[in-house]
Amino acid sequence: MNMEFERKIAIPMEVKEMFPIDAAMAEAVEKRREIIKRIIAGKDDRMLLIIGPCSADREDAVLDYVSRLRGLEDQVKDKVFIVPRIYTGKPRTTGGGYKGLLHSPVPGEKPDLFKGIIATRELHMRAVKETGFACADEMLYPENYKYLDDLLGYVTVGARSVENQQHRLTASGVETAVGMKNPTSGDLSVMMNSINAAQHPHTFLYRGWEGHSAGNPYAHAILRGFNTKGGQTFPNYHYEDVMHLVRLYEETGLQNPAVIIDTNHANSNKNPYEQPRIIREVMSFCRENKEARNLVKGFMTESYIEDGNQKVGEGIYGKSITDACLGWEKTRELILELAEKV
């Protein structure tokens, strides 16, 4: 291969021995995982809100943000179940730019994958220990999932990964609910095929082992909008889109029909200030149509301490260095308003 192999990285078991979780943390993660599964299965009527920075760039600001969510959840817990986004790997359309905490524990510095693995585990551990939240992360690299598999409450498979065989098969063997995004092309059949694959058992190679997965009945859809061949952006969160998905679920017979509406990306054309309006629209037609309400289990929203975004190196605390986010005051208003509409 035309690449240099610098060093062999510690396997997940070794990293977990270096940074173990205690019984209280394990119990907190399991409790919140089960609530998320109940919501996806329609056994709990609360709305999921998977919310947080586009990418987790620095530990202090992320934990500050998650702590603010902790205080707010107590006000809305009967209506809204909050799952903080701590996304430690950042997919890049062109391959360039900041690739997340996993690659660069200090943004702008030389990549260090081992330090990145430690930084991501420590960040998720602190979130559980200090706030009780089991957070969400994207399964950008399926082989890395086991570094965090005892800490995560929710997992997503992104729009660029949803057609990938290894992502689908790994999702079939994880213990969390897994959201499968529609691909950037908008072809919902790709997403439905991915959910179908994840819900069934498989035998496949994983980290040097021949493994047998049991299937994940909590794999479900995420609608995030799409782009045409000409580069135009279109949303897919409207009433007609959700009802089309209702029919697709009926035709496929998949378990636990569910969708999370991603309020950013192509649905808002990456304008974070449109996210509250999108939630209002979806909640409005959910009040009018029981089938839509039964399918829509929640929202995914990009939010941080400060509005907007900045370039790597500008150093503004709590401001995204990737996609623009909704700031804290607007986030607080959004969460309280959502609770009123459930």
DSSP class of 325: B
Q: Please state the rounded mean pLDDT for residues 97-121.
A: 91
CB contact at 8 A, 99 and 89: yes
Stated as kind and residue range, the H or E segment containing 27 is helix 23-40
Q: How confident is the model at residue 97 (pLDDT cuts 50, 70, 90)?
A: confident
Residue 87's closest CA among 76, 71, 103? Answer: 103
Residue-wise pLDDT tens digits, 110-132: 899 999 999 999 999 999 999 99
Give the burial string for 85-104 (b: 16+ CB within 10 Å, else e). Answer: bbbbbbeeeeeeebbbbbbb
Dist CA 18 CA 12 (whole Å): 10
pLDDT > 90 in the chain, percent? 92
- Taking the domains of the chain in order of start, what are their residue ranges? 32-341
The 10s digit of each residue's pLDDT in 64-73 is: 999 999 999 9
Q: CATH homologous superfamily of domain 32-341? A: Aldolase class I (3.20.20.70)
As a whole number, mean pLDDT of residues 313-322 equals 95
State whether residue 175 is helix, strand or coil.
coil
What is the predicted pLDDT for the residue at 93? Answer: 72
Measured between alpha carbons, how far is 189 from 85 in angstroms, rounded to an integer?
Answer: 27
Q: Which pTM does this prediction carry? A: 0.96
Compute CA 305 distance to the chain's CA centroid, rounded to the nearest angstrom.
18
Query: How many angstroms separate the CA atoms of 89 and 214, rounded?
Result: 26
> How far apart (Å, rounded) are the C-alpha atoms in residues 280 and 34?
27
Q: What pLDDT is stored for residue 92 in this prediction?
A: 77
pLDDT one-digit tens code per residue, 154-212: 999 999 999 999 999 999 999 999 999 999 999 999 999 999 999 999 999 999 999 99
One DSSP character per residue, 227-296 reads E-TT--EE---SHHHHHHHHHHHHHHT-SS--EEEE-SGGGTTT-GGGHHHHHHHHHHHHHH-HHHHHHE
* Amino acid, single-letter form, for residue 204: F
Question: What is the mean predicted confidence (pLDDT) over 309-326?
Answer: 95
Instruction: Using the CB atoms, write b or e for 145-155: b if 16+ within 10 Å.
Output: bbbbbbbbbbb
Q: Do the Cβ atoms of 221 and 195 come closer than 8 Å? A: yes
> pLDDT (tens digit, 9 = 90+) per residue, 320-335?
999 999 999 999 999 9
